[in-house]
Every structure is written in C-alpha cells, then in structure tokens.
C-alpha cells in the first residue's frame, strides 16, 4: 500500500462511515474500480486502523453526550433505579440497540467476510441503502425526540443495524432509517445513529486489535497505514459535524440518489470489464505473471510438500515442482539459501534456518566456546578423550566424560553445500580446513548417522533436530552466526497469486 492509497482510503472511510452511503461498500468498490491490488495482509490491518480512526472522531464529537450518559448511570446507582433520567435511559437504549448486531455478527461472520470480496455484491447492496432512506423519508413522521424513546424503539433500530453488516448497506443509513420509521426527527435519528456506532465499533475494534497483533511483518507497513488512521479521524469529525447540520433542514433523498447512481455505475463497470479481463498495466502484468516452474535446492527437499500445498491453495494453475542442483535460472521461482555466484532480479525472504552442532545422545559434551570448537573441527585430536582432556571450556552432562572414548567422527556436507560454507566462515576455517571430516550427502543422512553411532558429530539444520540427538551450546557466537536466510529467487517483485503463494509458504514456516 502506498501513501497516496492510504490517504485516499482514509478520506473515503472518514466521509462514508457517517454519511448514509456505506463506508464498507466504498472500501470494497474503490480499489476494484482503480485496479489497486493491495495485498490481503495489508487490507485487514488498514481496515482496523481507519475504523478506529472514525471511532475516535465520533467519541470526540459526542464527548459531552458520553459524559452526560455516564453521569446519569452514576445517578442510577445513587437512586437505586435504572433509567432515573432521560440521559440514563438513552444510554441503556444504546446498549440494547447494539445487541442484535453483536449476535448477528458472531453468527454470520463467515458469510459477511465472503461478501467483502465481492464488489458487485457491495454495489447491489447500495440499492438496499437507497431503499431504506426512501422508506424513512416516505413513512417517517419526524415528530419525536430522543427523550420519548422506549425499549421497543431501541430494539427496532438495533434490528436495522444488523443489515449494515454487509458491505454496501450503510450502518448510519440503516440506523437512521430505523429511527425515522419510528417517527423520530432527523437530527435525533442522526444523533442516536452516531452514538450507536460507539459500542459496536469499540467492541469490533478491540477484537480486531487482538487479531492485528498476530499479523506478521506489521511494523513494515504500519507507518503508511497510520496516515490513513489520522486522515480518517479528521475527515470523520468534519463529516459528522456537516451531516448533523445538514439533516436539520434537508431530506435524505440526495444520499439515496447517490447510492443508486454509484451502484449502477459499479455494476455497469463490472459488466463491461469482467474481473480477469481488464487489460493490466505493464506494472500489474508483471505482478501477476507466474514462473515457468518452482525449483528447490537439494538442502530444501523437506520444503517441497509445503510448497505443493500452498500452490494448490493459492494458484489457479499447477506449476512443475522439482529439485535441481543448478543455480537460479530466469523464468523460475527458486527456493534456496544465498549463493554468491547467483543473481536474481528479486529476492523474497521466507524464513531463517539455523545450524546446530549435534551429537549422539550418549556423548556427554554439552557446551564449549568458539576456540575449542575450532580446534575440534580442525581435526587436531583423534579421540574424544584427547579432546576432552585439552578442552578448557567444555561442559559435560552430570555423568561426566569419564569412560566416553572412541574415535571422533566428524561429518560435513559437500564443499558446495551452503551449510558447510557457513560453518567454515563462522569458525574462520579455510576450504578443506576440516581435514579429517567425512562427507555426508544430506542432513537426513546425518541425522540417521548421529542416532546410530555414539562417536559421531555434525551440524544439523533446525528443521532436522529431534529429541534423539543432543545439541551443543557454543559460547561466544552471535545469535545469527550459524543462520542462513531461506530465500525465494524470482525475475520480478511478486504480486497477486504469486505473492499469495510466497506468503503461504512463509506462514507455514513460522
């Protein structure tokens, strides 16, 4: 999401949350009309933040009403009577009117979430908003003030708010229509409608913030989204003030006409340019281009099932998935560790994988420092007893090292392996510096060997660690010294389904 997109969507949220023309419908329709492909992992936190922004606006605008209601509730406690004043009754009626939408939101959650992915459905619901506004103006007598409200009125208005769960059906429009069909005047309808927004938006906001904290990489795009939050709050405050003044002397027909025109325009656009047939710009054409194949390096054979599952879940078509020992080739999506001899136009980090010095569970060694590890790797000692006797930093299991002898069998991967190169770099050893080490082809083979032979040792990637082998603490290393970033290499920055695929693999590795 760009700063311009955040500003525009923040303005739209601030304007349409309180005008009876559906904010959710506009947030679904506008990106569709403009061809914006905002990633799904950014849409959710943005919607949460801008809704909290408009919640802040309504709280600030009606701060005196809120204070009066809380004071009235304190009066109820002192009088030992519920509804002892007009302000107290209005407060209780606001809570009663919130209950239907709260229950319906829990029961219809999945259906409502699906509706947010359908611009044509949101456009159709705009006609529903227009109909509600026309009915309110046509049949409402506009003769009552809020002080005359009773419990049935509040429940009736709350049922109208249920309709606004669907994008395109305006919350403020539905609530004002419900209020006006009970013969309340327009200004009272607007005031009660906006006050009703506070408990429902506050509850939804608190729940959404909990989900928001689970979003990966949130801090990367939070600064841009904070702009949308500020804009929605400022514009929301202005739109409330304008509408409260407007409805005193004007009908709601103008908003009904707007909803009909926008709904018709969106449906007409969708008919003329069906989704999937709109000619993409060069930028979007690159984003949705799929690679010829998905290729993974031999060290990542364990990742192939995850890649296949994510491909089925995110792509409309199946791509060849194969292992290859060659370097990155143009036109493919390659899953690999960094290779200084390989260049790609774009890299996407999926995860970080650490190497751990591992032993057979019978080996008493538990910890040592980098200097002694360098000596062990260089092959200066032939047996474990010789090494233990000369290892000043070694820490052993409670049973001690006595009686544990045997030839040191150190296993490493082929020289071309990124694992071997990382170990050599970390311990400042030249290529071939582990002179007495034995070559083993894969981490899976090393795991089997470590489990069977008590004298063996080697570096296992964290993916292959099991309780059947012991790992050794190496003091003096930084946390990322034996870590390798797991990358996806591509021709271009991913977008659309291709980015969804990469995010699916990334989430699976978390």
- Residue 366: both structure tokens together: 């538990």
64 phi and psi angles, rounded to 5 deg? -70, -40
Q: Which residue has the higher pLDDT, 142 or 116?
A: 142
Q: Tell me what pLDDT residue 281 has.
A: 42
Is 50 exceeded by the pLDDT of residue 280? no
Crossing angle for the helix pair 218-246 and 3-16, nearest 10 degrees?
Answer: 30
DSSP 442-478: -HHHHHHHHHH-TTEEEEEEGGG--TTEEE-EEET--
3-state helix, strand, coil in the chain (%, to 5): 55, 15, 30
Q: Which residue has the higher pLDDT, 387 or 316?
A: 387
Average pLDDT of the residues in 269-277? 57
Least confident segment among 98-107, 339-348, 373-382: 339-348
- 391 neighbors 372 (Cβ within 8 angstroms): yes
Indicate the average pLDDT of the chain: 82
Q: Tell me what pLDDT residue 278 has.
A: 39
Average pLDDT of the residues in 78-89? 82
Least confident segment among 92-96, 478-482, 492-496: 492-496
Q: Which residue has the higher pLDDT, 17 or 151?
A: 151
Tens of pLDDT, residues 366-379? 999 999 999 999 88
Count other Cβ atoms within 10 Å, centred on residue 217. Answer: 11
- Residue 8: both structure tokens together: 């525009």
Least confident segment among 141-150, 273-282, 307-316, 483-492: 273-282
Q: What does the alpha-carbon distance between residue 383 and residue 408 come to, in Å, rounded to a whole number?
A: 5
pLDDT classification of 384: cutoffs 50, 70, 90: very high
pLDDT classification of 173: cutoffs 50, 70, 90: confident
Q: For the chain, what's the residue count? A: 510
Looking at residue 147, what DSSP letter applies?
G
Average pLDDT of the residues in 414-425? 86
pLDDT classification of 282: cutoffs 50, 70, 90: very low
CA dihedral 106, 110, 116, 121 (to 10 degrees): -110
Count other Cβ atoms within 10 Å, centred on residue 72. Answer: 19
Is 70 exceeded by the pLDDT of residue 274? no
Average pLDDT of the residues in 233-238? 90
The SS3 of residue 383 is: strand
3-state secondary structure 161-177: HHHCCCCCCCHHHHHHH
Is 90 exceeded by the pLDDT of residue 296? no
Q: Which residue has the higher pLDDT, 282 or 358?
A: 358
Tell me the whole-structure pTM to 2 decimals. Answer: 0.51
- Spell 418-455 as b/e; 16+ CB within 10 A means b: bbbbbbbebbeeeeeebeebeebebbeebbebbeeeeb
- What share of the chain has pLDDT > 70, as a percent? 87
Average pLDDT of the residues in 278-305? 67
pLDDT classification of 49: cutoffs 50, 70, 90: confident
- 130 neighbors 174 (Cβ within 8 angstroms): no
pLDDT classification of 383: cutoffs 50, 70, 90: very high
Average pLDDT of the residues in 239-250? 86
Q: Which residue has the higher pLDDT, 276 or 181?
A: 181
Q: Tell me what pLDDT residue 458 has.
A: 92
Average pLDDT of the residues in 456-478? 89
CA distances 209 to 99, 206, 218, 222, 416, Å, are 21, 5, 12, 13, 47
Q: Tell me what pLDDT residue 189 has.
A: 85
Q: Tell me what pLDDT residue 276 has.
A: 44
- What share of the chain has pLDDT > 90, as a percent? 12
Q: What does the alpha-carbon distance between residue 152 and residue 56 come to, in Å, rounded to a whole number?
A: 29
Count other Cβ atoms within 10 Å, centred on residue 110. Answer: 8
Q: Which domains does the chain have, with CATH numbers?
A: 3-272 (no CATH), 286-349+488-509 (no CATH), 353-484 (3.40.190.10)
DSSP 186-252: HHHHHHHHHHHHHHHHHHHHHHHHHHHTT-TTHHHHHHHHHHHHHHHHHHHHHHHHHHHHHTTT--S
pLDDT classification of 287: cutoffs 50, 70, 90: very low
Is 60 exceeded by the pLDDT of residue 95? yes
Q: Tell me what pLDDT residue 199 has.
A: 84
Q: What does the alpha-carbon distance between residue 74 and residue 82 come to, in Å, rounded to a whole number?
A: 10
Q: Tell me what pLDDT residue 27 has.
A: 72
- Residue 409: both structure tokens together: 């069998």
Is 90 exceeded by the pLDDT of residue 213? no
Q: How far apart are the first and last CA of the chain?
A: 23
Compute the C-alpha angle 220/224/228, nearest 5°: 140
Q: Residue written as tokens 């906006």?
A: 194
């Amino acid at each position: 999401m760009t700063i311009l997109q955040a500003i525009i969507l923040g303005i739209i949220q601030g304007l349409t949350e309180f005008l009876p023309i559906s904010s959710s419908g506009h947030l679904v329709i506008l990106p569709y009309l403009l061809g914006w492909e905002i990633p799904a992992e950014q849409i959710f936190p943005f919607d949460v933040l801008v809704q909290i922004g408009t919640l802040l606006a309504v709280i600030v605008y009606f701060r005196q009403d809120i204070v009066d209601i809380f004071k009235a509730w304190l009066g109820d406690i002192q009088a030992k009577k519920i509804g002892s004043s007009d302000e107290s009754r209005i407060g209780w009626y606001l809570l009663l009117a919130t209950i239907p939408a709260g229950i319906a939101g829990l029961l219809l959650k999945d259906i409502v979430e699906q509706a947010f992915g359908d611009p044509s459905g949101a456009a159709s619901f705009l006609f529903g908003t227009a109909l509600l506004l026309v009915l309110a103006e046509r049949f409402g007598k506009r003769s009552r003030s809020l002080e005359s409200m009773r419990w049935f009125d509040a429940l009736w208005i709350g049922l109208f708010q249920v309709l606004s769960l669907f994008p395109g059906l305006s919350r403020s429009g539905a609530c004002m229509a419900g209020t006006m069909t009970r013969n309340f005047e327009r200004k009272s309808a607007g005031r009660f409608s906006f006050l009703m927004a506070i408990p429902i938006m506050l509850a939804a906001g608190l729940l959404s913030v909990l989900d928001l904290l689970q979003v990966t990489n949130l801090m990367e795009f939070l600064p841009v989204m904070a702009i949308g939050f500020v804009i929605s709050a400022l514009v929301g405050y202005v739109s409330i003030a304008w509408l409260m003044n407007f409805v005193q002397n004007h009908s709601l027909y103008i908003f009904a006409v707007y909803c009909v025109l926008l709904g018709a325009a969106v449906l007409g656009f969708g008919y003329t340019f069906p989704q999937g047939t709109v000619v993409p710009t060069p930028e979007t054409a690159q984003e949705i281009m799929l690679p010829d194949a998905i290729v993974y390096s031999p060290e990542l054979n364990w990742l192939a099932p995850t890649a296949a599952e994510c491909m089925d879940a995110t792509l409309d078509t199946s791509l060849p998935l194969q292992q290859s020992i060659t370097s990155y080739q143009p036109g493919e999506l390659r899953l690999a560790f960094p290779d200084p001899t390989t260049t790609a136009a774009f890299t996407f980090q999926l995860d970080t994988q650490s190497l751990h010095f591992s032993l057979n569970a019978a080996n008493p060694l538990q910890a040592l420092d980098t200097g002694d590890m360098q000596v062990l790797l260089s092959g200066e000692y032939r047996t474990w007893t010789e090494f233990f006797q000369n290892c000043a930093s070694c820490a052993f299991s409670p049973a001690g090292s006595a009686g544990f002898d045997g030839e040191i069998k150190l296993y490493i991967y082929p020289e071309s392996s990124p694992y071997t190169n990382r170990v050599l770099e970390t311990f400042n050893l030249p290529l071939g510096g582990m002179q007495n080490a034995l070559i083993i082809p894969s981490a899976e083979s090393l795991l089997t060997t470590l489990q069977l032979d008590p004298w063996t040792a080697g570096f296992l990637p964290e993916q292959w660690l099991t309780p059947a082998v012991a790992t050794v603490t190496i003091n003096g290393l930084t946390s990322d010294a034996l870590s390798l970033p797991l990358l996806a290499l591509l021709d271009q920055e991913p977008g659309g389904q291709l980015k969804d695929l990469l995010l699916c693999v990334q989430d699976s590795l978390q």
